[in-house]
C-alpha cells in the first residue's frame, strides 16, 4: 500500500485576486509562505518518506518550506504542473466575461483539457506507487490538477464541484491492484492557529 499526501500549494497574489494561474510561474505571497511553514510543522511530526512537487515556483516553494521542517528530499516532476490555462491565464472572471462574453467557457481559448491533466498527474502517481510500494509520499501540486486526478481515482468522490483549499492535504492510498481509497480530504487544520491570529 502506497500512501500519498496530496498538497495544494500555498496562497499567491493571483489566488487573492482571483486570477487564473495555470502554467504561469507565480511565487507564493507572504501568506502562502506562512501557510507552508505551518504545514511543514505538521509534516515534521508525521511519518513521510519523500516529496515530489510540480516544477512551478509556487509548488516548489511550498515543498521547500515543508522539506526544511521535515528534512525530506524534494524531486520535481513537470507532470504535476497545473493545467495550462491558455489565453485565460492572468485574468479574473470579470475580465474573461468582458473579453470573450458570458460563454467564454464554450470557446477555444487554448486551455488544457481535464482529461489531459488527469492523465499525466495519475501517470506520475501510478509510477511512484510501483517504484515505492509501502512508502508514504507527499505530492505538492495544484488545485485543478489534483481535483481532476481525484475525480478519476475516486470515481468522482469527492464531487467535481468541491475545490481544494490552498495548503490543504488530502491523503489517498493505492494498493497493489491500483485500487484507491481516500483517508483524509482537504484538511487544513494546521492553518487554524494562523487564521485565528489574523482575525484578532
Per-residue pLDDT tens for 94-141?
A: 999 999 999 999 999 999 999 999 999 999 999 999 999 999 999 999
Sign of the torsion formed by the C-alpha atoms of 162, 141, 13 and 32: positive
Mean pLDDT of 52-76: 96
Residue among 9, 142, 148, 190 flagged as catalytic: 9
**Grid-cell match 487554448, residue found:** 110
pLDDT of 10 higher than 90:
yes
Tell me what pLDDT residue 176 has: 87
| Cβ contacts of 26 within 8 Å, gap of 6 or more | 12, 13, 14, 56, 57, 58
Q: Is 190 a catalytic residue?
A: no
d(CA 84, CA 42): 31
In the prediction, which pLDDT does 197 show?
52
Q: Which pLDDT belongs to residue 50?
A: 97
Q: What is the reported pLDDT for 194?
A: 60
Closest CA to 80 of 53, 105, 107: 53
Catalytic option among 41, 82, 89, 95: 82
- Which CATH superfamily, name and number, covers 2-84+114-199? Phosphoglycerate mutase-like (3.40.50.1240)
Instruction: Give the residue-averaged pLDDT of 180-199.
Output: 80
pLDDT at 34 over 50: yes
| pLDDT tens per residue, range 141-165 | 999 999 999 999 988 665 665 689 9
47 burial (CB, 10 Å; 0-12 / 13-18 / 19+) is exposed
Contacts of 130 (CB under 8 A, 6+ apart): none
82 annotated active-site: yes
Q: What is the mean pLDDT of residues 26-35?
A: 95
Q: What is the mean pLDDT of the chain?
A: 92
* pLDDT at residue 163 in the model: 81
Q: What is the pLDDT of residue 192?
A: 85
Provide the pLDDT for residue 200: 45
Q: What is the pLDDT of residue 159?
A: 61
Amino acid at each position: 500500500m502506497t500512501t500519498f499526501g496530496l498538497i495544494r500549494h500555498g496562497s499567491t497574489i493571483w489566488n487573492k485576486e482571483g486570477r487564473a494561474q495555470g502554467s504561469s510561474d507565480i511565487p507564493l505571497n507572504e501568506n502562502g509562505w506562512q501557510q507552508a511553514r505551518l504545514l511543514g510543522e505538521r509534516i515534521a511530526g508525521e511519518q513521510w518518506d519523500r516529496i515530489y512537487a510540480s516544477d512551478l515556483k509556487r509548488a516548489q516553494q511550498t515543498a521547500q518550506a515543508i522539506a526544511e521542517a521535515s528534512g525530506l528530499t524534494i524531486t520535481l516532476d513537470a507532470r504535476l504542473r497545473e493545467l495550462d490555462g491558455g489565453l485565460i491565464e492572468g485574468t479574473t472572471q470579470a475580465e474573461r466575461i468582458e473579453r470573450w462574453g458570458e460563454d467564454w467557457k464554450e470557446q477555444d481559448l487554448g486551455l488544457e483539457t481535464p482529461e489531459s491533466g488527469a492523465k499525466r498527474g495519475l501517470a506520475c502517481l501510478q509510477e511512484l506507487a510501483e517504484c515505492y510500494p509501502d512508502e508514504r509520499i507527499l505530492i505538492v501540486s495544484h488545485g485543478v490538477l489534483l481535483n481532476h486526478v481525484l475525480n478519476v481515482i475516486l470515481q468522482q468522490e469527492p464531487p467535481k464541484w468541491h475545490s481544494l483549499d490552498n495548503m490543504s492535504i488530502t491523503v489517498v492510498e493505492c494498493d497493489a491492484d491500483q485500487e484507491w481509497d481516500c483517508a483524509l480530504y482537504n484538511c487544513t487544520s494546521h492553518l487554524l492557529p494562523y487564521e485565528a491570529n489574523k482575525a484578532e
